[in-house]
Structure 1
Amino acid sequence: MPGPEVPGVLSAEAAVQTGKAIAVTQLASGAVPWFPGGHVDPWDHVESAMAMAATGLLSEAECAYEWLRGTQRADGSWPLQVRDGRIEDAGADTNFCAYPAVGVWHYLLISGDDAFAERMWPVVRAAIDFVLTAQRERGEIDWAVGESGIPTGEALLSGCSSIHHSLRCALALADYLDQPQPGWEVALGRLGHALRRHPAAFTPKHRYSMDWYYPILGGVLRGEAARQRLFARWSDFVVDGLGVRCVDDHPWVTGAETCELVLSLDALDEHHRARELFAAMQHLRDPDGSYWTGLVYADGKRWPEERSTWTGAAVVLAADALSRATPGNGIFRGEKLPTGLPVENVPCCELEYVPGT
């Protein structure tokens, strides 16, 4: 399997070096912390596992998924934050708990390992069922469930967009294993409806770039509506030659957000812009193949002073999408993913979706 490579920007050898830099951080348990000594959360752990798989480190990636299998709680969730095996935050983030479905489907696409899929299916099924306990009647999903088991009562656009993608991957896995989940199809349709038609359902986070591009990254928007959304605020977030701001009111570009926008652009066939942005963020690369999280460009200082595994992972996944290298390269384009049961003729729609809001 050829490694991800973007000619003139990132060689296959450099991509593999980044995968190995992530693997060096992996603990004996299989957990992948943010950086040595850092905490572990399920979402970023999965992102790192996906990057290791995309760079040929299949045993390391499988070990990461085994950690998920071994630490999943009885209700299907994982703690929001763990450090050195100790729970620091026992609450459950619904987006974090849904994301293993993306990783498991990605690993199956790359490895073709049916035994792995069978082994991980109960994990994905329990996790998705847990996440859907926080779905509201209109379709949005609360961002977290507290230790008491009560949802927060607050839904986030970026998190729900990511869950939208996770549900599609979970349904793809269910179809592959001949395990029909009609309830998930309905839930996906309702969630997509809420995201496209009810922006007021989500807590406003307009200063964050993630809220800007995640409806595209999560497969909620495509075509002209997606392009309108991106280009309406392009100048608010994109800094030529450096990457993407994390927030629109600070001179701070971050590598992961830049690479996620690259993936979003790739999904819209905006390949030239995607490649330009991918090249622009390479100033965050360290000689050992890891990536610094961000740069405060007003004073030229890297901040925070950390080389995060999930930033390196986002780089690898963006490179794979651009290069079409591995069998999992199209996962963020939504290739061959189910779309759920459409929601039609719903009387709740008093507010149309406005691209760019």
Structure 2
Amino acid sequence: MKPEKPKQLFLIGIFLAILLAEGVTHTTMDLMKNQRPVAADLFLQVPSQENLRNYEENLEEGSWLVQNLRPVMQVLRFAVLGDLGKKAVAGREGWLFYDLGIQYLTERSQPVRPGESTPDEVVEAIVSFRDRLAERGIHLLVVPAPGKASVYPEMLTARALNLDHPVNVRTLQLLEQLENEAIELVNLFDLYQSEKNKDSISGPNNLYLIQDTHWSPKGMEMAAEKVANRLQELGWVEKGNTDYGLKEVPLSRHGDVIRMTQIPGIDDWYEPETIQASQVVRKESGEIYADDPHSEILVLGDSFLRIYEHDEPGSGGFVAHLARDLGKPLTSIINDGGASTLVRQELYRKPEMLA
């Protein structure tokens, strides 16, 4: 047994050196930059789960070793194991999904963390927003954009083929709560499921992009048409007389899920997705669609409204197609990932948009 002890001590020493190397390197780099070492945060903050989590994230993001070794390890893990990292999941037939969207569907409900809202609080906020708008004679129509994995779970895993129940139960419960509060909404989940029942084969009629988190031009155009019809059914909007046409624009692009991986050179591993978008133009002049700040209709949204509208081809997204279906220009506030908060904050700073 004695000959084994030096070997064990040597291995323990190597292991401890590896553990200490990161801390020593990080502290040295901080001091060389005349910055306070990140490790000092452990002693300057009250110990809590949130502070420890933030410390761990800051340590990882600011680590010199991590920043220099991560790209190499990402490429190796992807090339050998097909691992796309924390934010992306590879599905079937080349489909890519956003990890958080899958977690929302598959994980059990967790205790609400500080700063997060419960479903009841979400409903209360929407009801309050609706009521405050109603005081000014303004109607509110809520249009939740389905997550890609909730529409195409079978492209994530073959185990979801021929499911006889929805996978987005919590979202459907939230929609039911909103309906019970007399919130007017458009249920795109039902619309897309009905369309999928007509054409269940993955192909050019997909409602979502294969490499992206967002809807395809077809899925977006269906949503715009549904919303336009609902606005007119409610009697809130009359059809306008602006005659818009469509200009077909072919696009070739890598999706946002690929960019999320941050794997160096990953674009070379995936062919860009080819899609056919439609730019909205005025028939009489050929001018591309543009918002009218004085429009009676204000559209608020996130990146689902940005795609094709502010991105290529431009004036070819949800807002432009909704304007075409209604025969009149609209006005909009769009903010990536900030539709629930940042958009309303911008609206608060621009009260003239509700005049």
TM normalised by structure 1 equals 0.24
The structure number with the bigger radius of gyration is 2
TM-score w.r.t. length of structure 2: 0.24
